[in-house]
C-alpha cells in the first residue's frame, strides 16, 4: 500500500494488486490443479454403472434433486474451483454431443489425472505426458473402431435398439421399468427419424411429466400434449376431425389505455358500450368459425387455440356459439401444435383463412385422478411427426429423473440411427483398449512410453470402478477379466455387475455406441492435456 496525492493535493491510497493475489507456479500449480480435478472425479466414481450410487443435491432454495446422471450432478454441485469447472464443462460437452456416458468421461479424466500425478513426481515433463496421452488416445480410438460391430435394425425390427436403450436405463433409478421406457424412447425416435438421411430431430419429441399415477403409466402419445384445458367446463371434451385455428392475438376487445377517456354517465351509454363489446366478440367468433373473407362459406374452425386469454364474456360467447377454445397456451407448445397439425400460427384475425387451419384426427381432454387436473391430447395429426412422451410418477423428483433418463435413452437411439456401430460395455471396450495401448507403449522409444502405459492404466480404472461399485474385488476382478480377454482373444469380456453368471457382454446385451465411447476418450484426453499445460495460476486472494 502506498499513499499518493492527486493534482489538487487530495490524498489517495494505491493498493498494489499483485500483493493481493495468490500465485502458484510450476509443479505446484500442476499438482494443485490435478488434485482439484481428481476431487471432482472421485465424487462421480461411485455413481458409475448399473449398481452406481445416487446423489442427493439440495439447492439454496431447498429444491432437492436425486440423480445418478453425471452431467446433472456436476451441474447442480455449484463448484467454485476453476479446474473443477473444466470437468463440469467436460461432462456437459459429452452430454451435448452424445447425451450419454457423462459419468464415464469424468471418471476417465480423473484416472488420467491421477496417473499424470505419478509421472510428474517421477520427473517427467508435463508436455511429454500430454504428448504421450495424445498418442495413446489415438491408438485407443483406432482400436475401438476395430473391435466395433455393425448393429442391424430397421423400421420393423426395433428390438436391437430397444435392448441398447435398456442398457442405458439399467444404471438409472428408473430401471424397474426399463423395458417399457426403452420401447417408448425407441418408438418416439423412430416416429421422428428420417432414416434415409440418418437424421433425428429430437426437438420434435416433447417430454412432459405430471405427478401422480405410476411410472408404468408413462405413455407415448402420437401427437401433442398440452397442460391446459378447455376454457369453459361445458365445452365438448372430445372433438373429432378438428380444424384448429392457432392464434397469437388476444381474444379480447381492445382495452382502453390510460390516456383514453370514457365518459359513461347514463345507463344507456353503458349498455351501448356493452353491446359494442359483445358485437366485437361476435365478429371475432364469427371470423374464426366462418373465416373473414369467405363470409358465409363455412370454413369452420372447430377449435381455437390461443396464446392469450379471453375474458369471461368472450368465453361465454364461445361456448354458446359452440366453438371450443383453449387459452394461455405457451409459445413452444403453440409451435409444436402448428408443426404437428400442419397449421399456421395466425397473428391477426384478418389473416385467418381456411388453409391456415391445423388438422388433427382427435382432440380430447383427459382428467387425472380425483383432482381437477386436466390435459389436452391433440392426436392423429396431419403431420404425424411430432410425438410426446408423457411421464407419470409418484413425485416430482422421480419425474425429473425419469426425464433425464429418457433423454439419455433418446440420445442413444438417435446416435445409433446416425451411426450404427457399437462397442460392448461393462468395461470390456476399455480393457481391450488398455491391452492394445499397453502393447503399443513397448514399441515407443521415447519417454512418452511411460505416459502411454499410464494411459492404459487409466483406462483400467473404468472397469475397476464398475467392479467396486458392484461390491466386487476391483483388482482381482479386473485381472481375471483381462487375462480371460487375452487368453480367449475375446474383446467382449467385461465386468459382470449384475451377477448374471457370464462375463460376455454380448450375452448380457450391454452395448454402447462407438461414437459415444470414442468421444469419451477424446474429450477426457483433451481436458487432461489442458490441465497439464497450466503452469502458473494467478488468482485473487481470499482475504
Ligand atoms: P454414464 O453417465 O457414463 O452413462 P452410467 O452410470 O450410465 O454412466 O454407467 C455406464 C457404464 O455402466 C458403462 O460403462 C456401461 O458399459 C456400464 N453398464 C451398464 N449396464 C451394465 C450392465 N448390465 N453390466 C455391466 N456394465 C454395465
Please give the pLDDT value at position 59: 85
Q: Is 103 a catalytic residue?
A: yes
Whether the CB of 49 sits within 6 Å of ligand 1: yes
Whether the CB of 512 sits within 6 Å of ligand 1: yes
Ligand 1 pocket test: pick from 45, 47, 50 the residue with the most ligand atoms within 8 Å of its Cβ.
Answer: 50
Cell of 509: 446385451
436: three-class secondary structure by DSSP: helix
Compute and round to an integer the Cα radius of gyration of the chain.
Answer: 31
Q: Is 408 a catalytic residue?
A: yes
Asked whether the CA dihedral 162, 153, 380, 196 is positive or negative, the reply is positive
Please give the pLDDT value at position 136: 93
CA-angle at 120, arms to 119 and 124, nearest 5° = 80
Residue ranges in the chain whose pLDDT is less than 50: 291-297
Q: In the Cβ-directed half-sphere of 162, how many Cα atoms lie within 13 Å?
A: 15
Please give the pLDDT value at position 182: 92
Please give the pLDDT value at position 67: 86
Complex prediction ipTM: 0.96
Which ranges in 419-473 belong to alpha helices (H)? 428-443, 448-469
What are the chain's domains?
19-150+426-490+511-540 (1.10.560.10), 152-222+386-419 (3.30.260.10), 225-383 (3.50.7.10)
**Beta carbons within 8 Å of 341's beta carbon, 6+ residues apart:** 244, 246, 358, 359, 360, 378, 381, 382, 383
**Contact indicator for 324, 230 with CB cutoff of 8 Å:** yes
Whether the CB of 469 sits within 6 Å of ligand 1: no
The DSSP-derived string for 325-350 is EE----HHHHHHHHHHHT--EESSGG
Distance separating alpha carbons of residues 387 and 378, to the nearest angstrom: 10
**Rounded to the nearest whole angstrom, what is the distance from the C-alpha of residue 81 to the centroid of ligand 1?**
28
Distance separating alpha carbons of residues 407 and 220, to the nearest angstrom: 14
Distances, alpha carbon 385 to alpha carbons 221, 341, 409, in Å: 11, 9, 19
Whether the CB of 112 sits within 6 Å of ligand 1: no
Please give the pLDDT value at position 296: 36
**Contact indicator for 299, 340 with CB cutoff of 8 Å:** no
**Nearest alpha carbon, ligand 1 atom 26:** 426
474: three-class secondary structure by DSSP: helix
Amino acid at each position: 500500500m502506498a499513499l499518493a496525492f492527486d493534482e489538487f493535493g487530495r490524498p489517495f491510497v494505491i493498493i498494489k494488486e499483485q500483493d493481493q493475489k495468490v500465485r502458484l507456479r510450476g509443479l505446484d500449480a500442476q499438482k494443485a490443479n490435478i488434485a482439484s480435478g481428481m476431487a471432482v472425479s472421485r465424487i462421480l466414481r461411485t455413481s458409475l454403472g448399473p449398481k452406481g450410487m445416487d446423489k442427493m443435491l439440495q439447492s439454496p432454495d431447498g429444491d432437492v434433486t436425486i440423480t445418478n446422471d453425471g452431467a446433472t450432478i456436476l451441474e447442480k454441485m455449484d463448484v467454485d474451483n476453476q479446474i473443477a469447472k473444466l470437468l463440469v464443462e467436460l461432462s456437459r460437452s459429452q452430454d451435448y454431443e452424445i447425451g450419454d456416458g457423462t459419468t464415464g468421461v469424468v471418471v476417465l479424466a480423473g484416472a488420467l489425472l491421477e496417473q499424470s500425478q505419478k509421472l510428474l513426481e517421477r520427473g517427467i515433463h508435463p508436455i511429454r505426458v500430454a504428448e504421450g496421452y495424445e498418442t495413446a488416445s489415438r491408438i485407443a480410438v483406432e482400436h475401438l473402431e476395430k473391435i466395433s460391430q455393425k448393429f442391424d435394425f430397421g423400421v420393423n425390427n426395433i428390438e436391437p435398439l430397444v435392448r441398447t436403450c435398456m442398457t442405458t436405463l439399467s444404471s438409472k433409478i428408473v430401471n424397474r421399468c426399463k423395458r417399457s421406457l426403452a420401447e417408448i424412447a425407441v418408438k418416439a425416435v423412430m416416429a421422428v427419424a428420417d432414416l434415409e438421411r440418418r437424421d433425428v430431430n429430437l426437438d420434435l419429441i416433447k417430454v412432459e411429466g405430471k405427478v401422480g399415477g405410476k411410472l408404468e403409466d408413462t405413455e407415448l402419445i402420437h401427437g401433442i400434449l398440452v397442460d391446459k384445458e378447455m376454457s369453459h367446463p361445458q365445452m365438448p371434451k372430445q372433438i373429432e376431425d378438428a380444424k384448429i385455428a392457432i392464434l397469437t392475438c388476444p381474444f379480447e376487445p381492445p382495452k382502453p389505455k390510460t390516456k383514453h377517456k370514457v365518459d359513461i354517465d347514463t345507463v344507456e351509454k353503458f349498455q351501448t358500450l356493452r353491446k359494442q363489446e359483445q358485437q366485437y366478440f361476435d365478429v371475432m367468433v364469427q371470423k374464426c368459425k366462418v373465416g373473414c373473407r369467405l363470409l358465409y362459406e363455412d370454413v369452420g374452425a372447430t377449435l381455437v387455440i390461443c396464446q392469450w386469454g379471453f375474458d369471461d364474456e368472450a368465453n361465454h360467447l364461445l361456448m354458446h356459439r359452440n366453438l371450443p377454445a383453449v387459452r394461455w397456451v405457451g409459445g413452444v407448445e403453440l409451435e409444436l401444435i402448428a408443426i404437428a397439425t400442419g397449421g399456421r400460427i395466425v397473428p391477426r384475425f384478418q389473416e385467418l383463412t381456411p388453409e391456415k387451419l391445423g388438422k388433427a384426427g382427435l382432440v380430447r381432454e383427459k382428467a387425472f385422478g380425483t383432482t381437477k387436473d386436466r390435459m389436452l391430447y391433440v392426436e392423429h395429426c396431419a403431420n404425424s411427426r411430432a410425438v410426446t412422451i408423457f411421464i407419470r410418477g409418484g413425485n416430482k423428483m422421480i419425474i425429473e429423473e425419469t426425464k433425464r433418463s429418457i433423454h439419455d435413452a433418446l440420445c442413444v437411439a438417435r446416435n445409433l440411427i446416425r451411426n450404427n456401430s457399437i462397442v460392448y460395455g461393462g468395461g470390456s471396450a476399455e480393457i481391450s483398449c488398455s491391452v492394445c495401448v499397453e502393447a503399443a507403449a513397448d514399441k515407443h522409444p521415447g519417454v512418452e512410453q511411460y505416459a502411454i502405459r499410464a494411459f492404459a492404466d487409466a483406462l483400467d480404472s473404468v472397469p475397476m470402478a464398475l467392479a467396486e461399485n458392484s461390491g466386487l474385488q476391483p483388482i482381482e476382478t479386473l485381472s481375471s477379466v483381462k487375462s480371460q480377454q487375452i487368453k480367449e482373444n475375446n474383446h467382449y469380456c467385461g465386468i459382470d455387475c449384475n451377477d448374471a453368471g457370464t462375463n460376455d457382454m454380448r450375452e448380457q446385451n450391454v452395448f454402447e455406441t462407438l461414437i459415444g465411447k470414442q468421444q469419451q476418450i477424446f474429450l477426457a484426453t483433451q481436458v487432461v492435456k489442458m490441465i497439464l499445460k497450466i503452469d502458473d495460476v494467478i488468482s485473487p486472494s481470499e482475504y
